[in-house]
Structure 1
Amino acid sequence: MSDESEDSPPVVRSQDRAASGVPAAGWALGDRFSWEEIHQRLLASADEEIDSTLSELFFSGFTAGFAIVLTFIGYTVGTATFPNNRFLAAVLYPIGFMYIILGRYELYTETTLPPVKLVLTRLASLPLLLRMWSVVLLANVIGAAFGAFILANTHVLTQAEMEVGVEFLQHGLELGWWDLFFKALFAGWLVAGVVWLNTAVRDTISRVVITYLVFFTIPVLGLYHVVSSGAEALFVVFLETPSPGVLTLIYEFWLPILLGNTTGGVVLVALASYAQAKTRRYPEIRVLSTREMLFSLKGGRPFETPRPGIQLPENGGGPEEESDTTR
C-alpha cells in the first residue's frame, strides 16, 4: 500500500451520519461513541431545541409538567402501599419522567445541559438560553398545577394516598433551605447525566433502562426535583389543608430546589464536560461575538448556523455536506 493511501483520512460511510451531519455511529466502534462524538450529537440536539418557537416550547413544557403528575401519583400510591420500604415505594416514581424524556417533551432540568453547551461553545446567546429556560419552567409549573388541581379536587387518589402526598411537602419543609438545595443539586446532576447518557446510546431499550434507573434513584436517596416537588406543593395548596402560605412555600421549599437542580445540571455537568472538550469544536461555524452572546437572541437556525458537519460554500450559497472522507 502506498504512503499516500496510508496518510489519507479514514472513510466515514454516509449512513453513519445523521441528516444534521453528526455521527449516527461511532468512528472507532460502530456501536460506541467517543467523548467528542457524544459532544457533537448533544450540540445538534440542543440546536434543535433552542430553535423552537415560544409556542412549541410552551406546549411541550406544559405537556411535560402535566405528565409529571404521573410521577406524583405513582409515588403516593407506592408510598401508601409500602410505607416502610422506600425501594418498593419508588417503583412507579420514574413513570412520568419516562413519558417526558422518551417523548422528547421539554422539562426544565433536562434543558440545563444541552443549551448550556451551545452557549459555552458560543453557538447560542445567553439571552436565548434564559428565554428558553423561562418559558419551559413556566410551562412546566402550569402543567403541573393543572394536574395537581385535578388530583386535589377528584377521587383519583384515595384519602390515605392524599395524606401521603401532604406528608411529602411537610417532610421537605422540615429539612431546611440548605438541605433541600444540596439534595436538589445531586438530583440536577443525575437528570443532566441522563441527557448525556441517552445521547451516548442508539437504541430505545437502553434509554428506557437508563431513564428508569436514574429517576428511581431520586426518591430512594431522598433527593428533590423542581417540577415534581412543585406538583407536591401545588397539590397541598389546592387541597386547602393547613399549610404555610404560598410565598413561604416558594422561598423555603421550591426556590432552593430550583437553584439546586440548576446548579447540579449546569456547574457539575455542563461546565465539567465543556472543560474536557475542545474550545473550537467546529471551525467552519461562525461563533457569536461577545456582544452577540450577551445582548442578542441569536443561536440555532434563526442564526443561520449550519449544523455540525455541514460547511458553507465559499460562494455564499446553500450549505454543502462534508466529504465522505472527512471525519
Structure 2
Amino acid sequence: MNNASDGKTPGLTAEEEKDVSEKQPPRAVVMHETIRKQGDQELERSLAALWWSALAAGLTMGLSLIAMGLLNAHLPEVSTSKLISSLGYPIGFMAVILARQQLFTENTITAVLPIMTKPSWGRLRQLLRLWGIVLIGNLMGTLLIAYVVLHLPLFNVETDTAFLKIGQKVMENGAFEMFAKGIISGWMIATMVWMISSAENSKIWIIIAVTYFMALGDFTHIVVGSAEVGYLVLAGESSWSDFWFVFAAPTLVGNIIGGTFIFTLLSHAQIRSDTP
C-alpha cells in the first residue's frame, strides 16, 4: 500500500518518516502509564522514607512564603505589585518537585492512578497510609518553617509585616471560598503533574506558569497555605480553630476533589475510552 492510501504525505523518505514519528507528542495512554508507575513506586515506599521526604517538602515549601514576603517588602504598594510578588510563589514548588520530595497535592494524581487502574482494598489502604503520612509531614514542615521565620532574627520589620499580610490575605476567605478555590488549585496541580510527564525538558517552565497563576488567582493550597496561615497563628494574629476549620479542612477537601475526583477521574476515563 502506498503513502497516499495510508494517509501519509507522499514523497517522504524512510528517514523523514522516522523524524516525524519521533517528534510526535506522547499519547495520553503513555502519560497515564508513566504517572501510574510513579504512583506504584510511591505506594511501596517505606514509612520512614515517606515521612522524612514529606517533612523536607513542608520545610521547602516555606520558600514560597519567604520569597513572596521579600518581594512584597521591596515593592511599592501599587495595584500591579502583585504581578511581581506572585513570582515568589513558584519557588517552593520548583524546589520540592525538582528534589523529588513528597508533596501532598502531587499524590492526589500519581498515587491514585494505580488504584483506578487496578482497584483493591489493599491499594486503598496503601493510598490512605501514603496520604496520611505525607499530609502530616508536610504540615509539620510548614509550621516548623513558619515558627523559625517568625522567631529567629532573619528579616527586617518590613518583611515580617509582609509575611503577616500574606496570611491575612488568605484568611479574608470564608470556609466555602477556601473550599472552592482549593478545588481549582488541586485541579491546576494535577494538570501540572500530567503536563510534566510529557514535557520533561520544559518542567521548570510548566511549574512556574501553573503556580504563578495559582498565586495571581489567590487559589488556596493546603501546604503553602499552612505556612502562610501558620505564621499568622504563631504570631497571635489568628486562632488555631480558624487555621483548622476555616482554612485547612475546607482547602484540603477542595484540593482532593480538584486533583482526584475531577482531573484524575476524567483523565482515567479518557484512557479507558481510548483503550480497546
TM-score range, shorter chain: 0.7 to 0.9
Partner of 1:90: 86
Partner of 1:154: 152
Identify unmatched segments of 5+ residues in structure 1. 2-25, 283-327
After TM superposition, the score normalised by the length of structure 1 is: 0.73
2:251 to 257, 263, 272: 257
Partner of 1:80: 73
Task: Work out the CA distance in 1 between the residues paired with 2:228 and 2:82.
Answer: 18
Matched, 1:106 2:99: no
Matched, 1:215 2:211: yes
1:170 shift after superposition: 2.3
Task: Work out the CA distance in 2 between the residues paired with 1:249 and 1:224.
Answer: 13
> Letter of the aligned partner of 1:116 in structure 2?
V
Change (3 A) 1:103 1:242: closer
1:63 shift after superposition: 0.7
1:259 shift after superposition: 1.1
Task: Work out the CA distance in 2 between the residues paired with 1:99 and 1:31.
Answer: 30
1:76 shift after superposition: 1.1
Change (3 A) 1:280 1:91: closer
> Letter of the aligned partner of 1:182 in structure 2?
A
Within 5 A, what are the aligned runs for 1:64-75?
64-75=57-68
Within 5 A, what are the aligned runs for 1:35-184?
35-82=28-75, 83-84=77-78, 85-122=81-118, 125-184=123-182
Partners of 2:105 and 2:259 within 8 A in 1? yes
1:218 shift after superposition: 1.1
Secondary structure at 2:172 match in 1: helix
Partners of 1:73 and 1:157 within 8 A in 2? no
Deviations 1:302-324 (A, max 9, x none): xxxxxxxxxxxxxxxxxxxxxxx
1:28 shift after superposition: 4.3
Deviations 1:141-194 (A, max 9, x none): 111122111101112222122222222222322221111111111111111111
Deviations 1:269-323 (A, max 9, x none): 11000111128979xxxxxxxxxxxxxxxxxxxxxxxxxxxxxxxxxxxxxxxxx
Partners of 2:233 and 2:243 within 8 A in 1? no
Matched, 1:247 2:247: no
Secondary structure at 1:175 match in 2: coil
Deviations 1:10-59 (A, max 9, x none): xxxxxxxxxxxxxxxx9943562111111111111111111110111111
Partners of 1:27 and 1:33 within 8 A in 2? no
1:199 shift after superposition: 0.6
After TM superposition, the score normalised by the length of structure 2 is: 0.86
Change (3 A) 1:281 1:106: farther
> Letter of the aligned partner of 1:104 in structure 2?
R
Task: Work out the CA distance in 1 between the residues paired with 2:156 and 2:119.
Answer: 50
Partners of 1:121 and 1:279 within 8 A in 2? no
Q: Choose between structure 1 and 2: higher helix proportion.
A: 2
Partner of 1:267: 261
Change (3 A) 1:65 1:276: same
Secondary structure at 1:142 match in 2: helix
Task: Work out the CA distance in 2 between the residues paired with 1:279 and 1:58.
Answer: 37
Partners of 2:62 and 2:142 within 8 A in 1? yes
> Letter of the aligned partner of 1:209 in structure 2?
W
Partners of 1:81 and 1:89 within 8 A in 2? no
Secondary structure at 2:26 match in 1: coil
Q: Give the fraction of aligned pairs with identical amino acids, expressed as a percent.
A: 26
Partners of 2:54 and 2:134 within 8 A in 1? yes
Partners of 1:121 and 1:280 within 8 A in 2? no
